[in-house]
Structure 1
Amino acid sequence: MNTSTATAHFRPHEGGDKVGCTRGNQDLLSRVMRGYFVVEGRRLSYLDFGGPGTPLLALHGHYNEASAWAPLAEALAPQWRVIALDQRGHGESDRAESYERDDYVADVAAFHQHLAVGPVAILGHSLGGVNAYQYAARHTDQVTALIVEDIGAVVECDWAFTTTLPRHAPTREALASAVGTAAPYLACSFRQTENGWGLSFDIDDTVASQQALNGDHWKDWASVSSPTLLIHGTRSDELTAAHARDMITRHTGQAHLVELPAGHVVHHDAPAQFAAAVRAFLGSS
């Protein structure tokens, strides 16, 4: 893999609305750094939320970006230092020609190598959850603990919603209105552009990524050897309670299931309970 690296300070007001979900928390902004590294000619971005704690790598889901983990980073500090990747085609990272499973896992490997922090705990939501457990399965000596948020070992993603998303809107308010009830979940990805407002991900790329995410990933799940926490939202339309229990049963190592009163985006719907579950698990791993 051909990689090179570069880093830059995080500038929350540069180039439009790049604050994302860190907006308004000045203490958090004061220590956040935005970094970059290059993989096969593509620049990938990440946010290092800083602090003296043990590193925790975080991978967001579709429609989102690294800044979505800002509330969790604040809740886990100072014991844990969250470092979150803008995955390919998301946030400030470059678009890619391919969004296959191996591509995402290779990005995580390059991200981890770039940080040079040694074996780490890794957390992922939805798309990021599959990326996290596939990385853990294929790099068993690099992952000390795994947290998977509301995604299964078999994924049947429906991308119909993605195709209904607006590509542009004249104002932030108009964009939020066009997105509808999903606006609170997508707000981190709102961006001001020359043409008004849009999203920090490409809709066609996202459909391709969702199509590539679908499939049976039991082989990878069963290959995870690190202690694992699976967090399931009881109102989720992506992961059923039965499938979550099956994942725990078929895990070959130490695995725990936590169910919280939330939808698919548990860290958004139940942030305090989510952070408490993550903190308790990491403290015992």
Structure 2
Amino acid sequence: MLATIRHPAATAPEAPTLVIAHGLYGSGRNWGVIARRLADRREVVAVDMRNHGESPRFPTQSYPEMAADLAEVIESLGPQPVDLLGHSMGGKAAMQLALTRPELIRRLVVADIAPVAYAHDQTRNARAMAEIDLSRITTRAEADAALSARIDDPALRAFFLQSLDLRQRPPRWRLNLPVLEAEMPKIVGWPGTLGVFDHPALFLTGAESRYVLPEHRETIRALFPKARFAKIPGAGHWLHAEKPREFEETVRVFLEA
């Protein structure tokens, strides 16, 4: 089963458990601050998706498999339905689960992704991480310097380096990079899943992101007829990291409506 980080409710739970599924190259640890703040009235469980963090390594990374992983976690938590939040790759896995096992989910939050195939390719970033000679790395600063030769964006490097375990000698990536690179067509794609999730769903996007476009709304509404749409000003694809308080408040209002 997937590794999880559980954030118990600060008081007696008044709402269903919230499960959080991170995006590509991320982990449940990335969501620590938001998860703890949302745990004031409910338990929050952040997962490490397969081939990420401390979760098991598998040879494949398809959305039906990722949805089955999430279903196993949800069924282990006790009473269903739960609320489910997914960002990017995790958002697609969450949509896949909602369309195939709708009884498990009360409310769905999809952060900056649509149920469509994308043309962009993230294999360059997997290769950049894999090409670093970790036997020469002893500090995060050294790792950042090595990665800067391949990735210009310091914010993106900082995000990737959250998945570098410097306690190990030599350090190791908490990512199954060969599989993620090989399975990239599935990750940026969409399996064309049919079905209808007839419960409330929030599609929350960064106003400066180009991942969810106006032309995607017809496809979204066909699968999620109760979909609502909201944008966070000044945020891009990493909206939860760029505008965490605004992200948290928007999610809270939707889940508690």
* Structure 2 partner of 1:26: none
- The amino acid across from 1:210 in the alignment is M
Q: State TM-score, norm by structure 2.
A: 0.85
Residue 90 of structure 1, CA deviation: 0.8
Pair 1:176-2:138 in alignment: no
Counterpart pick for 1:108 among 61, 70, 74: 70
Contact 2:140 2:161 in 1 (8 A): no
Cα deviation 1:8-31 (Å, max 9, x = unaligned): xxxxxxxxxxxxxxxxxxxxxxxx
Q: Which 10-residue stretch deviates more, 146-155 or 97-106? A: 97-106
Counterpart pick for 1:162 among 122, 126, 145: 126
Q: Which has the higher strand share?
A: 1
Classify the secondary structure of the residue corresponding to 2:245. helix
Pair 1:205-2:173 in alignment: no
Paired positions, count: 240
The whole-number CA distance in structure 2 between the counterparts of 1:244 and 1:262 is 19
The whole-number CA distance in structure 2 between the counterparts of 1:262 and 1:209 is 28
The whole-number CA distance in structure 1 between the counterparts of 2:108 and 2:225 is 11
- The amino acid across from 1:177 in the alignment is A
Q: 1:165 to 1:224 in 2, by over 3 A?
A: same
The whole-number CA distance in structure 2 between the counterparts of 1:228 and 1:207 is 30
- The amino acid across from 1:163 in the alignment is R
The whole-number CA distance in structure 2 between the counterparts of 1:188 and 1:58 is 18
Residue 197 of structure 1, CA deviation: 2.9
* Structure 2 partner of 1:230: 203
* Structure 1 partner of 2:230: 258
- The amino acid across from 1:161 in the alignment is N
Cα deviation 1:112-150 (Å, max 9, x = unaligned): 111123211100011100010110111111110000011
Instruction: Could you tell me which runs of 5 or more consecutive residues in structure 2 were left unpaired when the two chains were aligned.
Output: 149-153
* Structure 2 partner of 1:3: none
Q: 1:197 to 1:235 in 2, by over 3 A?
A: farther
Residue 247 of structure 1, CA deviation: 4.7
Q: Which 10-residue stretch deviates more, 107-116 or 72-81? A: 72-81
* Structure 1 partner of 2:3: 45
Cα deviation 1:196-241 (Å, max 9, x = unaligned): 4342102212213432123345544x6222200011112225x043
Contact 2:22 2:90 in 1 (8 A): yes
Relative contact order (alpha carbons < 8 A, sep ≥ 6): 1 or 2 greater? Answer: 2
Contact 1:155 1:216 in 2 (8 A): yes
Contact 1:171 1:197 in 2 (8 A): no
Contact 1:171 1:196 in 2 (8 A): no
Instruction: Could you tell me which runs of 5 or more consecutive residues in structure 1 were left unpaired when the two chains were aligned.
Output: 1-37, 39-43
The whole-number CA distance in structure 1 between the counterparts of 2:143 and 2:253 is 38
* Structure 2 partner of 1:272: 245
* Structure 1 partner of 2:96: 134
* Structure 2 partner of 1:191: 165
Classify the secondary structure of the residue corresponding to 1:68. helix
Q: 1:245 to 1:253 in 2, by over 3 A?
A: closer
* Structure 2 partner of 1:32: none
* Structure 2 partner of 1:12: none
Q: Which 10-residue stretch deviates more, 247-256 or 150-159? A: 247-256
Aligned ranges 1:71-150 → 2 under 5 Å:
71-150=33-112
Contact 1:248 1:256 in 2 (8 A): no
- The amino acid across from 2:182 in the alignment is A
Q: 1:270 to 1:173 in 2, by over 3 A?
A: same
Q: Which 10-residue stretch deviates more, 91-100 or 173-182? A: 173-182
% identical equivalent positions: 26
The whole-number CA distance in structure 1 between the counterparts of 2:165 and 2:174 is 6
* Structure 2 partner of 1:214: 188
Classify the secondary structure of the residue corresponding to 1:154. coil
- The amino acid across from 2:8 in the alignment is G
Q: Cα RMSD between the aligned structures?
A: 2.1
